[in-house]
Amino acid sequence: MEERFRELYESRAKIIKALAHPTRLFIIEELQKHERSVGELTAMIRADTSTVSKHLSVLKNAGIVADEKRGTSIYYQLRTPCIMNFIGCIEEVLELNAKAQMDILKCCRK
């Protein structure tokens, strides 16, 4: 693997890592419907504000969401909705896994 390739994969991995957390996946799915303020998200997630804020800043640093101050709150929105497509693929993996698990159960029971 050549060096410049390694860098490309590194950049991609950084973005993907930003997606790789349950809370952040929730946030992304929520933002796809609506833009949301930190407070609104915090209420839905039921965690410390600071925790939610940190998750948002991870997403923002990765360039996945953008924020906009309006009135007294800061609203976050999804910057690249294509992110959602990819959830579909993850779901496909999960289904395959579940199916494989079923097969194991079926085959070894009479």
Partner DNA sequence: AGACTATATGGCTATATTGCCAAATAAGCA
Partner DNA sequence: TGCTTATTTGGCAATATAGCCATATAGTCT
Task: Give the residues lining the site for a copy of itself (CB under 8 A).
Answer: 1, 5-6, 9-13, 15-17, 19-26, 44-46, 62-64, 79-80, 82-83, 85-94, 96-97, 100
Interface region with DNA, contact rule CB under 7 A, candidates 3-11, 67-75, 81-89, 102-110: 67-75
Nearest residue to 17 (alpha-carbon basis) of 68, 58, 74? 58
**Which is closer to DNA, CB of 94 or CB of 102?**
94
Q: Of 54, 63, 80, 96, which one interacts with DNA (CB under 7 A)?
A: 54
Residue 105 tokens, joined: 């159960």
Does 11 sit near DNA (CB under 7 A)?
no
Residue 53 tokens, joined: 């804020």
Handedness of CA 68, 36, 47, 11 (dihedral sign): negative
- Indicate which of a copy of itself, DNA, none lies near residue 38 (CB less than 5 to 8 Å, by partner kind): DNA
State the alpha helices, DSSP H only, in the chain. 3-19, 22-33, 38-45, 49-61, 83-107
